[in-house]
């Protein structure tokens, strides 16, 4: 039984996340996902809280057929303990973490694999595109919720 572990916020679960989980599971028999708590995600990403709460994100991850166990990620320092506690053979992350000091030291404890990110999709892109829709597509917002005035220039450029 090869046990695989991956970490992430997995907010506004999308195709990029699902492809990462599918490929991670294919590297073993049992996939553990450590989902960032809301507090840790805010500290780590230094922006707003995730759209979905920690418990909702966990429920969604548990519903993904590739995922066998969801645990909590609340600190950067917990990874070596996680590897020992869950007898992990392989830690898998997306290529945006390649070479990161947050993961490279794990090579002393298990196999470490970076998988190519899925291009063209991200949680922040979804947020930006929906916001752009709300501004450019009439009727996207019911009138009582429509932002008074919104300059297109105020929108962050989408990637
Ligand atoms: N991912 C991907 N393709 C995308 C978007 C994301 O392969 N288009 C991968 C990321 O590389 C990551 C995982 O999906 O491995 C989850 O991504 P996020 O939810 O953005 O999590 P992240 O900020 O990478 O969290 O301990 C570290 C953090 O928990 C990592």
At 94-138, the pLDDT tens digits run 999 999 999 999 999 999 999 999 999 999 999 999 989 888 876
Q: Given pLDDT bands bounded at 50, 70 and 90, which one contains residue 153?
A: low
Residue 46's H or E segment, with its range, is none
CA of 152 to the centre of ligand 1 (A): 28
List, as one string, the DSSP characters of 53-99: -HHHHHHHHHTSTT--EEEEE--STTHHHHHHHTT-SEEEEEGGGTT
Q: Which one-letter DSSP state was computed for residue 116?
A: P
The residues lining ligand 1, judged by C-beta closer than 6 Å to any ligand atom, are 7-10, 16-17, 20, 36, 44, 73, 93-94, 96, 117-118, 121-122
Instruction: Give CA–CA dist 140/131, Å, rounded.
Output: 10
The pLDDT assigned to 29 comes to: 98
From the CB of residue 36, how many other CB atoms can be counted at a distance below 10 Å? 22
Residue 40 lies in a domain: yes
In this predicted structure, the answer to whether residue 36 has a pLDDT above a threshold of 90 is yes
Is the whole-model pTM more than 0.85? yes
CA of 98 to the centre of ligand 1 (A): 12
Residue 118 lies in a domain: yes
Residue 147 lies in a domain: no
Q: What is the CATH number of the domain that holds 53?
A: 3.40.50.620
Residue with tokens 């699902």: 18
Query: How many CA atoms, within 13 angstroms, populate the side-chain half-sphere of residue 76?
Result: 10
Domain extent at residue 110 = 3-123
Residue with tokens 């869950």: 86
CA of 99 to the centre of ligand 1 (A): 15
Number of domains in the chain: 1
Residue 18 lies in a domain: yes
CA of 145 to the centre of ligand 1 (A): 32
Residue 82 lies in a domain: yes
Partners of residue 115 on adjacent β-strands: 94
Q: Any residues with CB less than 8 A from the CB of 44 and at least 6 apart, and which?
A: 9, 36, 76
The pLDDT assigned to 148 comes to: 47
């Amino acid at each position: 039984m090869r046990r695989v572990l991956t970490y992430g916020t997995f907010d506004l679960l999308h195709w990029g996340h699902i492809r990462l989980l599918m490929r991670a599971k294919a590297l073993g028999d049992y996939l553990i996902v450590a989902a960032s708590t809301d507090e840790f995600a805010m500290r780590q990403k230094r922006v707003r809280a995730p759209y979905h709460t920690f418990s909702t994100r966990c429920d969604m991850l548990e519903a993904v057929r590739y995922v066998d166990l969801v645990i909590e990620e609340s600190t950067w320092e917990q990874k070596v303990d996680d590897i020992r506690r869950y007898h992990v053979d392989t830690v898998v992350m997306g290529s945006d973490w390649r070479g990161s000091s947050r993961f490279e030291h794990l090579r002393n404890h298990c196999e470490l694999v970076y998988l190519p990110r899925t291009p063209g999709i991200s949680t922040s892109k979804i947020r930006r595109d929906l916001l752009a829709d709300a501004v450019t597509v009439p009727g996207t917002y019911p009138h009582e919720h429509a932002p008074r005035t919104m300059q297109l220039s105020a929108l962050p450029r989408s990637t």
